[in-house]
Structure 1
Amino acid sequence: MKPPPEAASGQRAPNRKTSVVTGAATLFASSIFSQILGLATLIVTARLLTPTDFGVIAYFVIAVALLEIIQRAVSMTLIRQPDITEAHLNTVFTMQVLLGLGAAGLIWLSTPLMPMLGLPELTELIPALCIISVLISLKSPRFPLLERDLRFAFVAGEEAISRFVYTVFAILLAWIWRDFWAVVVANFLTQVARVIWTYSTAPMWPRLTLSRWRDCLNISSWSLGAQITQFLTTNTPQLIIGATLGLADAGTFRIGFRLVSLFTNQAIAPLERVIYPALAHISRTDGTTQKAFEQTNAILLGIIIPVSVGMALVANHMIIVVIGWQWLAAAQVIWVLAPLKAIETLQANVRSASYVKGDTKRLCIRNSILLVVTIVLMLIGSSFGYFGAILGTGLSSVFAIFLTLIMARDFGTGGFFGPILVAWRSIVSTLVMVAVVLLVGGALGNHDQVGWAFNSPDDLPLLRIRFLAKVLAGVIAYVGTHLFLWHLSKRPEGFESAALSLAGGVCRHVFTRGPRGESS
């Protein structure tokens, strides 16, 4: 058996800042690649499948993602453990398998509930979900140790390969079958690819044992609860819309929510894979994470706010140009949720800091409160129809931001709004961007001729030109204003310097090689 990755890497202590920057650069590049493939998948499948298909897909994808979160909550215990032994690895593997089998059993027992909930179409998915539940549990427990040692190239490889497999098969099978089974089979093949990748990069022969269950359970129990409640809060709107308004409305909502997620939650996910191990490393070596927490807030908001707000500004055009005007109702989701979900990404940083501090119990309680509030708001909102449900989702996002800011006070400085105001240059630059885009839209006659774009496909080329003009104007306005404010502030360390370091890390990773053939 090969020595654990942490032992091998211990021969030469890595430079933490270099490892984090390079890891962020690698995962960010992988994220861009994944988002491009994800967008391509969405574009093609949206033109081949119906809103009802997407409603079924919404429930399936939510179930699979929940299974993945449960498994990752167990493996994350290895990142925070001070000392890792083979017994810990085997215990984690055993817990993964038990959870996978238990979840499969619960899914199978839920079969009679589907018709009772008015969703008989979902009974067809039960066998596939049971198989996928077991498959997810078989991933190598040694793989998280690569993250623990800040070796993120392997994580980026997993994300890129799995996304590539999913995109190829989802598009191919959707073209052939023209129904939701294309996504189901593509997801199964993606999980197979993930298992193969984890064992090829972190090989081991696991055995079943629970000898270290106390070490793992003490950390993972509240962590698991926090992640499950957070996940359910995020996906409750889709579940309630499908149950109360029908699968077609749930499918339309999913299209809009998926576009928002591509540029908020999905874009942040790879960076969060860097944040938690990095903060854990800083905590073990320096004993404090306050400065890193504040800088990470600035980076997250600097990336996400302009993208999400810009997306809301051109939502109509983007829907029509990208996936077709038949999905125009999804633009309402983007208008309401994109700016709110941008600020809500702060909770990714709060989650990571809570895991490092070991304060997962409070995080679980916070998420449980948010889940209850979200359910109430969604039930009230959906009683007023589709747009009412969207407003209910928006109000739950506002409440989530409020709770996040309360918890953030324990990890940084600057008062209640400190985590947001730390990115003041990004906020001002975004406001300038909004003004410029609205000005360009007015100059192009957008408000006078908005109707033609939605009713006549013959005018689509002109719409593409206007869409591109707004996007370019927004990018130039945001970047230019940001650099100008940074210069006036005498170039302090923050989002801008981190962006330059990230760009430098990408260049070094692509164009240079380390002494052992590894990217430096």
Structure 2
Amino acid sequence: MQNSPDHNPAPSMLTRRSALAVGAATLLASGVFRQGLGLLTIAITARLLTPEDFGIIAYFLIATALLEMFQRQIGMVLIRLDNVTPEHLDTVFSFQIIFGIMAAILFWTAQPVVALLGIPALTELLPALSAMSLVVAIKSPRFLLFERGLRFGYVAGEETFSRIVYAVLAISLSWYWRDYWAIVVATFAGQVMRGVWTFSIAPMLPKLSLSQWRDSLSFSSWTIGAQFAQFMSANAPQLIIGATLGLADAGLFRIGTRLVNVVTHQLFTPILRVVYPGLADLSRKTDQGREGFRKINAGFLAILLPCSVGFALVSVDVIWMFLGYTWVAAAPVIWVLAPLYALNALQASVRSAVYVEGSTSLLFYRNAILLVVVCVVMWIGVQFGFNGALIAAGLANLAGLIATLIIAKRFGNGGFFEPLIVGWRSFVSCAVMTVVVIATNYLLRDMLQMSYTPGIVLLKTGAGVISYTATHIALWAIAGRPDGFETMVFSLLGKLRNHLRDRKA
């Protein structure tokens, strides 16, 4: 019998926390595989394409991500509603198509304006973006009901198969064409795969209807505005660097931020997708929303912070080995932005809490103000070259963190710094890890004369993982083993051990 997203036939033995934990673990496993594949794709295509190619690609991928963001926000109302009807599904699908057509027309008619920039490649990309607008729009709204029901395995499948299609085509076409169009075609094919997957897993025969437009538009209009402002503030550094410093510097910045995103945002984006459905479900059925908010923040810091800091510590080794000497100049981008990107992941829980509360206008105003601040800071920074732009990008991310903490105060139980304080064990453990990895680096190179080899990266990574984990557990034990991230991890390990023991029996 085919699985239906309209009901949640989860076994009664699974608690809500267990369902969220299992969902997060499933998506994390998928994320590790996909981003490992993503790193392989970057390593190969970076040796086949030029920094200028990646500068052009950056504009195309930013536009594609913007289309995806808009389309996802249209359907987010389905997760928040108490009762989803077929009319709601038809209305969401209709809005998806309407927006896709509008975006396609906008990109097509923008060709004369973009031509004024004097970069022919960007003008040539606009017809492809028009077609992409329509492809991204054709997805099954019913698929979102799996997320609503805290069933994330199908989401992992969507992300994984689309990444496989993208990676195979990006590598093979880059090998034959040695041109940025390889990434364009691969991205297009990956989006087609997403649409096919959603309709095959959650089939529906949609019809054009706007009967529930009030429910959809009142929520989506503010969320789309908020997400657009946030998206632009996140990508303004890339756009401003490309427009003022040239495509080569834009390519270096793109590779640096892409690597940071793989290790922080994109590796754990599937886990972040658990947050909003989880908080919405928690708020609908319990009064534990604030406590859940605190635990989610602590979990983010415990996972993202060591990954980002650890990656910054081995970034030069990784770039030298896998991308080549040409791209070593991108390492400072990682040093500056990786820790800040990890901290800014807290905005995912804040955004989810705002969605659940329904005060999406607050998020819009926050993001709009932040966009203005980022543009001003970046414009000043690029006047001092690439290094000035990099410092400005760091300050822009710091401004985003401050704005996040201001809003987070209304959802927590403590003060302004509570979302950070709840992860104090993670900060201390990262500090210890940093000292250990730096010491290991100097010892290995002095004793073994190893430089930029997989061996030294593995040894440094192992030293970092062991020191971070041991310090975290020791601090948790000293603090009296409070109910937190560590409790959930040990609980999951216990369930896994029992499951394996039962299977052997």
**TM-score bracket, shorter-length normalisation:** over 0.9
Aligned residue in 2 for 1:157: 157
Say whether residues 1:486 and 2:476 are aligned partners.
yes
Over the aligned positions, Cα root-mean-square deviation in angstroms equals 2.2
C-alpha separation in 2, matches of 1:96 and 1:12:
36
2:322 alignment partner AA? V
What is the CA deviation profile of residues 169-207 of structure 1, one whole-angstrom value per residue up to 9, with x for unaligned ones?
111111111111111111111111111110111110000
State the 1:118 CA deviation.
3.5
The separation in 2 between residues aligned to 1:462 and 1:39, in whole angstroms, is 17
| In structure 2, distance between residues paired with 1:113 and 1:275 | 40
CA contact 2:300–2:346 (8 Å) conserved in 1: yes
Structure 1's 187 and 148: CA in aligned 2 closer, same or farther, altered over 3 A?
Answer: same
Distance 1:413 1:289 in 2: 11
The number of aligned residues is: 502
**Residues 20, 274 of structure 1: 8 Å contact kept:** yes
Distance 1:462 1:74 in 2: 46
Give 2:472's aligned amino acid: H
Partner of 1:111: 111
Deviation at 1:475, TM superposition (A): 1.3
2:467 aligned with 1:477, yes or no? yes
The one-letter code sitting in structure 2 at the alignment partner of 1:364 is F
Q: Are residues 329 and 216 of structure 1, via their aligned partners in 2, closer, same or farther at CA, if it must alter by over 3 Å? A: same
Q: Does the CA contact (< 8 Å) of 1:256 and 1:330 recur in 2?
A: yes
Using structure 1 for the length normalisation, give the TM-score.
Answer: 0.92
Aligned to 2:143: 143
Q: Distance in 2 between matches of 1:83 and 1:308?
A: 39
- Structure 1 residue 230, shift from structure 2 partner: 1.0
Q: Percent identity?
A: 51
The change in CA–CA distance for 1:279 and 1:127 in structure 2 (over 3 A counts) is: same
Change (3 A) 1:369 1:31: same
- Does residue 193 of the first structure (1) align with residue 193 of the second (2)? yes
1:460 CA displacement: 8.0
Task: Classify the secondary structure of the residue corresponding to 1:5.
Answer: coil
User: Does the CA-based 8 Å contact 1:321-1:460 persist in structure 2?
Assistant: no
Residue number among 463, 467, 480 corresponding to 2:457 in the alignment: 467
Residue type at the aligned position of 2:265: N
Q: Distance in 2 between the 1:505 and 1:165 partners?
A: 34
| Per-residue deviation, residues 486-505 of structure 1 (Å, max 9, x unmatched) | 22222222121222345567
2:65 maps to what in 1? 65
Q: Paired residue for 1:40?
A: 40
- Aligned partner of 1:379 in structure 2 is 379
CA distance 1:12–1:303, shift in 2 (3 Å): closer
User: Matched residues in 1 for 2:432 and 2:11: separation?
Assistant: 50
The match for 1:518 is none
User: Is 1:378–1:392's contact at 8 Å kept on the other side of the alignment?
Assistant: yes
Query: What residue number does 1:436 align with?
Result: 436
Indicate conservation of the 8 Å contact 1:55/1:251, yes or no: yes
One-letter amino acid matched to 1:467: V
Deviation at 1:461, TM superposition (A): 6.4
- CA drift of 1:122 comes to 0.6
Q: Does 1:402 align with 2:392?
A: no
SS at match of 1:168: helix
* More displaced 10-residue stretch of structure 1: 271-280 or 482-491: 482-491
Checking the alignment, whether the CA contact within 8 Å between 1:22 and 1:506 is kept in structure 2 is no
CA offsets 1:371-418 (integer angstroms, 9 cap, x no match): 111111111111111111111100001111111111111111221111
Q: For 1:42-72, what per-residue CA distance to the aligned partner results, in whole angstroms no more than 9, with x for missing partners?
A: 1111111100110111001000000000000
373 and 125 in structure 1: CA distance in 2 versus 1, 3 angstrom threshold: same
Looking at structure 2, the residues matched to 406 and 278 of structure 1 have their Cα atoms a distance apart, in angstroms, of 23
Q: Do the aligned partners of 2:93 and 2:141 also contact (CA within 8 Å) in 1?
A: yes
The answer for the alignment partner of 1:311 in structure 2 is: 311
Amino acid at match of 1:34: R
Q: Which residue of 2 aligns with 1:27?
A: 27
Alignment partner, residue 87 of structure 2: 87
Rounded Cα–Cα distance in structure 2 between residues aligned with 1:492 and 1:233: 37
User: Which residue of 2 is the match for residue 496 of structure 1?
Assistant: 486
Cα distance change on mapping 1:296 and 1:18 into 2, 3 Å: same
8 A contact 1:135–1:191 mirrored in 2: yes
Identify the range of structure 1 (424-433 vs 461-470) with the bigger mean alpha-carbon deviation. 461-470
Q: Deviations over 1:411-466 (max 9, x none)?
A: 112211111010111111100011111222232357x99xxxxxxxxx98664333
- Specify the SS of the correspondent of 1:367: helix
- Residue 204 of structure 2: aligned partner: 204
8 Å Cα contact 1:26/1:509 also seen in 2? no
With over 3 angstroms needed to count, the CA separation of the structure-2 counterparts of 1:240 and 1:134, relative to structure 1, is: same
Give the 3-state SS of the residue equivalent to 1:259 in structure 2: helix
Shift of residue 35 of structure 1?
Answer: 1.0
1:484 Cα deviation (Å)? 1.2
Q: Do 1:9 and 1:149's aligned partners in 2 also have CA atoms closer than 8 Å? A: no
Q: What is residue 74 of structure 1 aligned with on the other side?
A: 74
CA distance in 2, matches of 1:337, 1:75: 31
Aligned to 1:170: 170
The residue number in structure 2 matching 1:411 is 411
The equivalent residue for 1:232 is: 232
Which residue identity does 2:316 align to in structure 1? N
CA contact (8 A) 1:268 1:345 kept: no
- 1:452 maps to none
What TM-score results when the alignment is normalised by the length of structure 2? 0.95
- Describe the SS at the equivalent of 1:444: helix
CA positional deviation for 1:75: 0.7
How many Å apart are 1:468 and its aligned residue?
2.6
Instruction: Sort the Cα spacing of 1:433 and 1:10 in 2 relative to 1 into closer, same or farther, 3 A.
Output: closer
| SS of equivalent residue, structure 2 residue 142 | coil
1:236-280 superposed Cα distances (whole Å, 9 cap, x missing partner): 111111111111111111000001111111123111111100100
Maintained 8 Å contact 1:24/1:502: no
Contact in 1 for aligned 2:8/2:149 (Cα 8 Å): no
Question: In 2 relative to 1, CA 509–159 (structure 1 residues): closer, same or farther, beyond 3 Å?
Answer: farther
2:351 is the alignment partner of 1:351: yes
* Structure 1 residue 113: Cα displacement: 1.9
Structure 1 contact 25–503 (Cα < 8 Å) conserved: no
- Asked whether the 8 Å contact 1:55–1:242 carries over to 2, the reply is yes
User: Deviation at 1:508?
Assistant: 8.3
Structure 2 match to 1:5: 5
Q: Sort the Cα spacing of 1:211 and 1:13 in 2 relative to 1 into closer, same or farther, 3 A.
A: farther
- Letter paired with 2:294: E
Distance 1:98 1:509 in 2: 48
Q: Is the Cα contact below 8 Å between 1:41 and 1:171 reproduced in 2?
A: yes
Could you list the per-position Cα deviations for residues 130-157 of structure 1 after superposition, in whole angstroms to 9, with x for gaps in the alignment? 1111011110010101110111111111
- Gaps in structure 1 of 5+ consecutive residues: 450-458, 514-520
Deviation (angstroms), 1:310? 1.4
Matches of 1:122 and 1:510, distance apart in 2: 54
- 2:215 aligned with 1:215, yes or no? yes
Q: For the structure 1 residues 510 and 281, does the alpha-carbon distance in structure 2 shift closer, same or farther, using more than 3 Å as the test? A: farther
